[in-house]
Homo-oligomer: A and B are copies of this chain.
Amino acid sequence: MTVSDELWPDVQPATARRLMLAGVESFAERGYHATTTRDIAGAAGMSPAALYVHFPSKAALLFEISRSGHEQTLALVEDVLTRAEDPVERMRLLVEDFVAWHARRHTVARVVQYELNALPEREYQVVGKLRRRIEQVVREVITQGLGSDAFTVADPQVAAVAVLSLGIDVARWYSDRARLTPTALGKEYGELVLRMLGAR
C-alpha cells in the first residue's frame, strides 16, 4: 500500500491520489500560491493535461485535500462520542486521536490547517462547516464535563480553542525525527488537557 492509498482510500483512481500527494508535498514546501499545476503534475510524473482529467483546477485539488483532511478529523472526533460516555474518557480519547492524527499526517495536516485562506469562497464555506462541527464536539464534551463537575474551567469557549490549538500546532512542529511517536505524544497531551480542564 502506498502513502497516497493510505491517506485517501476513498479517492479513485490511484492517479488522482498520486496527484493529491504531489499537491500536498508541493503546497507544504512552497505554499499554495507559489505552486503551479505544472509543478504538481511534474512531481506526480504526469503532464499538466493529465492533471486536468482529475481536477479542474489547482483550487479543486486543494479543496479535495482540505475537505478530506477535515472529514477525517471530524470522523475521529465524532467516533469518540460513540466509544465512551464519560466526559473525561471522551476528552482523553479525543485529544489522543486528534493529536496523533496531526503528528502522523503532519505534512497533510500542514496544508489542511494553514492553506484555508487559499480556498475559494464556496469551498471555504464547506470546510468551515466541518471545522465548526469539530469545534462543536469539543465544546459539547467540555460542557458535559462541566455539568457533571468532572471539569472546571472559567471560560469553556477559550478552553475548547486551547484543546484544538494543541493538536493543530503539532502539524507545525512535528517531524519524523520527533522523540515521541504520534501515539505516545497523543497520550501525553491527553493527560495535559485533562489537567488543563481541571479533571480530578
Contact = CB atoms under 8 A, between A and B. Distances in A.
A165 B169 contact: yes
Interface in A147-169: 153-155, 157-159, 161-162, 165-166, 168-169
Contacts of A158: 180, 185, 188-189, 192
Given A33-B34, A191-B154, A196-B192, A172 B162 contact: no
Contact count band on A: 35 or more
A179 interface: yes
A158 to B, nearest CB: 5
A193 to B, nearest CB: 8
Contacts of A31: 30-34
Contacts of A179: 157
A193 B165 CA distance: 13
Contacts of A189: 158, 162
B34 A172 contact: no
Nearest to A191: B154
A48 interface: no
A92 to B, nearest CB: 14
A170 interface: yes
A158 B30 CA distance: 29
Given A158-B185, A166-B169, A168-B169, 5 more contacts: A31-B34, A33-B33, A34-B34, A158-B189, A192-B196
Interface of A: 29-34, 113-114, 117, 153-155, 157-159, 161-162, 165-166, 168-170, 172-173, 179-180, 185, 188-189, 191-193, 195-198
Nearest 7 A/B pairs, CB to CB = A31-B31, A33-B34, A34-B34, A165-B169, A169-B169, A196-B196, A30-B33
28 contacts: A30-B31, A30-B33, A30-B34, A31-B31, A31-B34, A32-B34, A34-B34, A113-B172, A114-B114, A114-B172, A153-B192, A154-B191, A158-B188, A158-B189, A158-B192, A159-B192, A162-B189, A165-B169, A165-B170, A166-B166, A168-B169, A168-B172, A192-B196, A193-B196, A195-B196, A195-B197, A195-B198, A196-B196
